[in-house]
C-alpha cells in the first residue's frame, strides 16, 4: 500500500525547487507551436511543388532540356527541404517535447527509434549538404548567367557545409561511440 504524498512534511525550499523543476520541464511544450508552424511551412512547400510541377507539365512541348533539368532540380530541392522539415518536426518533437508512441506502427521511420540530439544534428547537416548540392548543380547548369564570384562563394559555402557535417559526425562519434554490434 502506498502512502499519499503529504507536502506538509516537505520543507518549503524543497517544494519551491520541485515546483520550479516541474515548470522548467513543462516549458518544453512551448516548442509544440513551433513544430505546428513547421507543418504549415511544409504545406506551403507542397503547394509550391504542385504549382511548379503544373507549370512543367503545361510547358512540356515547348521547354528546352536545360530548363526541364532546372525545374526538376527545383522540384528535388523542394522535396529535400520537405524531408528536412519532417526530420526537424518528427525528430525534434520526439527528442525535445514528447514521445510519439509509434511502436509497431508500420510507417515509423527506422531512424526514429534511435534519434537523439546528436543523431538529429548529423542528419540535418547531411540534408543541408544535399540541398546545397542541388543548388550548386543548378548554378553549374546556369553558370553563364552567374558571375565567377557568385559561383566561388556557392562552392565555399557548400564545402563549409560538408566540413561542418564531417566535424559534427566526428564529434558525435567521440561523445557517444557506437555500441558493440552496431
**Residue range 38-78, pLDDT digits in tens:** 999 999 999 999 999 999 999 999 999 889 998 999 999 99
Query: Is the pTM value of this prediction over 0.75?
Result: no
Is the pLDDT at 1 greater than 70? The verdict is no
182 is a domain residue: no
52 is a domain residue: yes
Mean pLDDT confidence for 112-136: 81
Is the pLDDT at 33 greater than 60? The verdict is yes
Is the pLDDT at 177 greater than 90? The verdict is no
Q: Which structural domain range is residue 68 located in?
A: 36-175
Tell me which range, 38-47, 63-72, 95-104, 115-124, is most confidently predicted by mean pLDDT.
38-47
Q: Which three cell numbers stand for residue 77?
A: 530541392
Q: Which three cell numbers stand for residue 176?
A: 557517444
7 is a domain residue: no
56 is a domain residue: yes
d(CA 157, CA 175): 27
Which pLDDT band holds residue 181 (cuts at 50, 70, 90)?
low
d(CA 141, CA 149): 16
4 is a domain residue: no
12 is a domain residue: no
31 is a domain residue: no
| Dihedral (Cα; 82, 84, 90, 91), 10-degree rounding | 180
Is the pLDDT at 121 greater than 70? The verdict is yes
Q: What is the pLDDT of residue 101?
A: 78
Which pLDDT band holds residue 35 (cuts at 50, 70, 90)?
very high
- Cβ contacts of 72 within 8 Å, gap of 6 or more: 56
Mean pLDDT confidence for 78-94: 88
**Tally of domains within the chain:** 1
154 is a domain residue: yes
Q: Which three cell numbers stand for residue 66?
A: 536545360
Mapped onto helix, strand or coil, the DSSP state of residue 100 is: coil
- Cβ contacts of 136 within 8 Å, gap of 6 or more: 154, 155, 158
d(CA 83, CA 122): 14
Amino acid at each position: 500500500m502506498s502512502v499519499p504524498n503529504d507536502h506538509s512534511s516537505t520543507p518549503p525550499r524543497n517544494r519551491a525547487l520541485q515546483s520550479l523543476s516541474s515548470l522548467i520541464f513543462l516549458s518544453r511544450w512551448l516548442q509544440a507551436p513551433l513544430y505546428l508552424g513547421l507543418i504549415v511551412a511544409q504545406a506551403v512547400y507542397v503547394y509550391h511543388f504542385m504549382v511548379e510541377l503544373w507549370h512543367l507539365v503545361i510547358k512540356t512541348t515547348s521547354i528546352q532540356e536545360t530548363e526541364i533539368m532546372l525545374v526538376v532540380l527545383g522540384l528535388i530541392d523542394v522535396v529535400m527541404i520537405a524531408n528536412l522539415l519532417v526530420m526537424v518536426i518528427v525528430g525534434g518533437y520526439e527528442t525535445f517535447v514528447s514521445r510519439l508512441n509509434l511502436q509497431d506502427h508500420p510507417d515509423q521511420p527506422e531512424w526514429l527509434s534511435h534519434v537523439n540530439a546528436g543523431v538529429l544534428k548529423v542528419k540535418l547537416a547531411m540534408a543541408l549538404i544535399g540541398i546545397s548540392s542541388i543548388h550548386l548543380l543548378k548554378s553549374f547548369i546556369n553558370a553563364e548567367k552567374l558571375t565567377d564570384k557568385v559561383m566561388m562563394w556557392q562552392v565555399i559555402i557548400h564545402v563549409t557545409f560538408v566540413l561542418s557535417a564531417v566535424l559534427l559526425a566526428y564529434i558525435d562519434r567521440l561523445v557517444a561511440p557506437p555500441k558493440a554490434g552496431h
